[in-house]
Amino acid sequence: MPNTIKTNYTAGEQSPYMDGREDVNKYHNGASKMINATVLPHGGFVKRSGTEYISTAPSKCNLLPFEFSVDDSLVLEFSEDLLRFYKDGSIVNDNVGTEDLSGLDNLVAHWLLNEDEGVVVADDDGGTHNGTSSADTSVLHATGKVGTGSFNLDGQYDVTVPDAADFSFTDNSDDTPFSMACWGNVVDGETQTILSKWRDGASSTEWKFTLSNQKKLQLILSDSSAGLSS
């Protein structure tokens, strides 16, 4: 059988059932077997690249491809309670957005938790409710995923904010709807308090936002005037 000149391999690797099927157009643009090769969408092929270390998986995981378009694709890593994205040979964890809260007229407080000196934790919403860290923020400061830094509380540090009527939403005198948003990276499986106005046995006990030892978010509300909680 004479040799056949292939102009491209855009049909990729074909099944053995295609052998001799010259009546099919793709037969002339395919290969019976390609080893360590990657077909280019515009024709031809290149040698398949080798492997390199990118990251360590936290546990057993599944890797799945996600191809948005010919020139835009991701690798998705699924593991227990975690989904990570990889693109162009590196993990995707950069901050690509900006935060704009200027349109909110009901913001009570906003703590960035990015200080790196002193013990004052500033309220970015006008400084009305500044907090105090239990250790110098130079000890707490760490590289964050969003903004210019974060706090590593390490299971032993916290930030305390003076009590104020602005934080009273469930005191039975002026119950009002409220919401809260927090960003955190949790590495310990123990029960943890994320944000709260709560002191056991005190009249200021109202609400607390926690993470259970099963990593479930919980919002606990208390009406201390009636001795009720839910």
How many Å apart are CA 87 and CA 85, to the nearest integer? 7
Residue 228: its pLDDT value, please? 45
Quickly state the pLDDT bin for 201 (edges 50, 70, 90). Answer: low
- Residue-wise DSSP of 115-165: --SSSEE-BTTTTTT-EEESS-HHHHEE--SSTT-EE--TTT--EE----G
Domain map (residue ranges) of the chain: 12-47, 62-91, 102-162, 166-230
Q: What is the average per-residue pLDDT within 185-210? A: 80
Taking only the tens place, the pLDDT of each residue in 120-159 is 999 998 878 999 999 999 999 998 777 788 999 998 999 9
DSSP state of 111: B
Q: What is the average per-residue pLDDT within 84-103? A: 78
- Give the residue with greater pLDDT, 84 vs 229: 84
Residue 76: pLDDT over 90: yes
